[in-house]
Structure 1
């Protein structure tokens, strides 16, 4: 029987955390999302198919040019041949990884093309240069990316992947070692066919706006996600961090970090957590309780408690996207609720009402909010068509 209720809703006892553990988790996520670590050397390799039927080479060249001319990275391109495709790609990527390994180095792998639909129980994930647009089936030579990937993280240095294809989130499934991963779509989603609205196009635009200034990959993902609707990107991108590790830094070595500015109109992530401590019933006690248990460094990072409930010890809170994406996804204490563009409006109204009541008969008015921010880039016409 189908139901909208999650399995967790039938569990009386759910995973709980002490509030100091909650604070530690948030502090760690903040540090992992915002700590800049420019590398001594960053190298980028992009690869596509010899029989590519999308025309990805133009955008690939533009992306590599940005990495080389704006960021000063070493870049290289490889065309996957139609004969011995998997072996030839593996051979080239392993040789390239060996040459670009070492302490304080970052290797970036970029793929553009077609991919089959993977999944959590699949034994392989295939990439190809051609696809039947009616059936979605891959055509021509294919290769199993998971069999290639396992060899690339054996060398010293940090690794991250940027994949623009259908079912791109499958790149982080299988026997995954955990290198950082950002891609065009989830494992069961199609990417847009038109390159003008693709993940690579938006990534290039964001990198040009940063203009070589340092930003973590988590921060770049957040920038792309916040403006995905405005940029009319074909599918919502996905970011999967390396477990228990800071997000890699994209930027020229030792450059000054970009100033972080998050509009009040930007997307935030609403989460819930159950804590072990009993929440005080009195509002004044509640504020004092928060001040004692949650460090100012966490609250100043735009982590906001949106709601609290007696009995269940349930807290609702919002965080910026770059902090949310660095919270471990396998921690059962946290539950994703949704993306929002404001804080709890009802609690704000109640607080204003309480203030007005306590100050009567004096006249008072609520403070005005900021005006909406103007579009950060020209609108693109919406494209509707088959995915990759």
Structure 2
């Protein structure tokens, strides 16, 4: 029984449509059963696919609804922006109309101002032209008046300066002696003696400065700037004693505290400080490679700058001692002070050169150098006056003693400044000077002649110079 039951259980089949078990009696034919099963499987697959499609469509519907809501929000926002833009456009249009109106008003005002400005410019130009005419007429009048009375002014100026023509032109003489604080040459004793000569025998204002090793260029520049008195009535004397080297890269002279390995600085920048002032200056360099320039610059407004150096560029100067430049300079200044005579820088240079040449212990390659660095347009020399300078010097020696020298010149071609300097350079034994104007003086013509004469002590004769070339000085400067 159990075996029969098991066989029944195996033979039972389900209806694919209803899901019920089929008995043996009610079994369908094999073909019918297979067809029904296939159709039922296809229907199930389509159903599942349709269900999946329906879910996808529902999801798409939800997505589309979300997107539609977003689009609606964007549309509402754009509508608000459009409304604001329209409102802003209306405001801008109103402002544009207002600006156009104000621009029109400003154009009208500008036109009125332009017309007024043009009228003002015309009036100003007319006033300037009239002022120029008045100034020109005044200058013409002053020129005519001065030209008519030029001889009186010229004679008055000469007479005021005539008695003191051989006295110093300087109200003050300042001396600056410079050496290194860490000097290894031993220049202290010679500089002290030189300072004593300048101060005690000449009465000059002497300052001594020791260059520090730290920032020497700035320290010396500051000292020189404070030392310089930019006055034509002040004479500056600058003396440097120390090492002098050559910058191989720039081929320039430099000052150094030691022969090698010490602080150093260019020398030309300090020289330029003296060259650019209206005061006269004497530069004295006691160092190797001292004189690195001899070009004379002539220009208006600057003083005369002369240099005396212990040796030329590329040469070696002797150190402190009997044959040193500073020692010879001190001796020459001392002798000139004892004589009480004025002397120029070239005379001082000649004295120093002669003393060094005659020295038995002089260095063979050391020869002092004298150079004029800057000069006025009308060449002039620097003179040094000891305190007891006699007014009867210099005296010009001549083979013929003349009591009176008379000369004449044309007014139209006269240049007062060089004539004034030439007349004031007359020797001390010329006692007086007088001027006479001819009968045609008031005609103010170019061929007008003026005669002048210088009187001496004894009557020896009279010389009248008719040729201008014989009495006319070097006229290189316009006054």
SS at 2:333 equivalent? helix
Pick from 114, 131, 145 the counterpart of residue 267 of structure 2: 145
**1:252 match:** 386
Pick from 230, 233, 236 the counterpart of residue 101 of structure 1: 230
The aligned length equals 219
Counterpart contact for 1:168–1:186, Cα < 8 Å: yes
Residue 79 (structure 1) aligned with residue 210 (structure 2): yes
Pick from 362, 366, 370 the counterpart of residue 239 of structure 1: 370
Measured in 2, the distance between the counterparts of 1:112 and 1:175 equals 26
**2:316 match:** 190
Query: Are the structure 2 counterparts of residues 254 and 225 from structure 1 closer, same or farther at C-alpha, using a change threshold of 3 Å?
Result: same
Query: Are the structure 2 counterparts of residues 249 and 257 from structure 1 closer, same or farther at C-alpha, using a change threshold of 3 Å?
Result: farther
Pick from 281, 285, 289 the counterpart of residue 163 of structure 1: 285
**2:452 match:** none
Measured in 2, the distance between the counterparts of 1:251 and 1:72 equals 10
SS at 2:256 equivalent? strand
Query: Are the structure 2 counterparts of residues 124 and 242 from structure 1 closer, same or farther at C-alpha, using a change threshold of 3 Å?
Result: closer
For 1:276-318, what per-residue CA distance to the aligned partner results, in whole angstroms no more than 9, with x for missing partners?
xxxxxxxxxxxxxxxxxxxxxxxxxxxxxxxxxxxxxxxxxxx
**1:282 match:** none
Q: Which runs of 5+ in 1 are unaligned?
A: 1-34, 132-137, 262-388
Does 1 or 2 have the higher relative contact order (CA < 8 Å, sep 6+)?
1
Query: Are the structure 2 counterparts of residues 228 and 162 from structure 1 closer, same or farther at C-alpha, using a change threshold of 3 Å?
Result: same
Structure 1 length normalisation: TM-score?
0.51
Residue 225 (structure 1) aligned with residue 379 (structure 2): no
Query: Are the structure 2 counterparts of residues 67 and 49 from structure 1 closer, same or farther at C-alpha, using a change threshold of 3 Å?
Result: same
Structure 2 length normalisation: TM-score?
0.42
Counterpart contact for 2:295–2:373, Cα < 8 Å: no
SS at 2:257 equivalent? strand
Query: Are the structure 2 counterparts of residues 223 and 148 from structure 1 closer, same or farther at C-alpha, using a change threshold of 3 Å?
Result: closer
Structure with more helix by fraction: 2
Counterpart contact for 2:344–2:383, Cα < 8 Å: yes
Residue 50 (structure 1) aligned with residue 181 (structure 2): yes
Question: How far apart are residue 75 of structure 1 and its match?
Answer: 0.3
Query: Are the structure 2 counterparts of residues 111 and 151 from structure 1 closer, same or farther at C-alpha, using a change threshold of 3 Å?
Result: same
RMSD of Structure 2 on Structure 1 (CA): 3.1
For 1:237-288, what per-residue CA distance to the aligned partner results, in whole angstroms no more than 9, with x for missing partners?
1100245532211223672279789xxxxxxxxxxxxxxxxxxxxxxxxxxx
**2:430 match:** none
Question: How far apart are residue 196 of structure 1 and its match?
Answer: 2.2
Question: How far apart are residue 171 of structure 1 and its match?
Answer: 6.1
Counterpart contact for 1:113–1:129, Cα < 8 Å: yes
SS at 2:341 equivalent? coil
SS at 1:150 equivalent? helix
Counterpart contact for 1:111–1:163, Cα < 8 Å: yes
Residue 116 (structure 1) aligned with residue 245 (structure 2): yes
Bigger mean CA deviation after superposition, 141-150 or 236-245 = 236-245
Pick from 304, 325, 328 the counterpart of residue 202 of structure 1: 328
Question: How far apart are residue 57 of structure 1 and its match?
Answer: 1.2
Measured in 1, the distance between the counterparts of 2:200 and 2:336 equals 13
- Which runs of structure 1 show a deviation greater than 6 angstroms over 4 or more consecutive aligned residues? 173-178, 257-261
Question: How far apart are residue 154 of structure 1 and its match?
Answer: 3.0
Query: Are the structure 2 counterparts of residues 173 and 241 from structure 1 closer, same or farther at C-alpha, using a change threshold of 3 Å?
Result: closer
Pick from 222, 225, 228 the counterpart of residue 91 of structure 1: 222
Pick from 246, 265, 276 the counterpart of residue 154 of structure 1: 276
Counterpart contact for 1:128–1:143, Cα < 8 Å: yes
Query: Are the structure 2 counterparts of residues 173 and 163 from structure 1 closer, same or farther at C-alpha, using a change threshold of 3 Å?
Result: farther
Question: How far apart are residue 48 of structure 1 and its match?
Answer: 0.6
SS at 2:274 equivalent? coil
SS at 2:281 equivalent? strand
Pick from 216, 232, 236 the counterpart of residue 344 of structure 2: 216
**2:444 match:** none
* Matching of residues 277-296 of structure 1 within 5 Å: none
Question: How far apart are residue 205 of structure 1 and its match?
Answer: 0.7
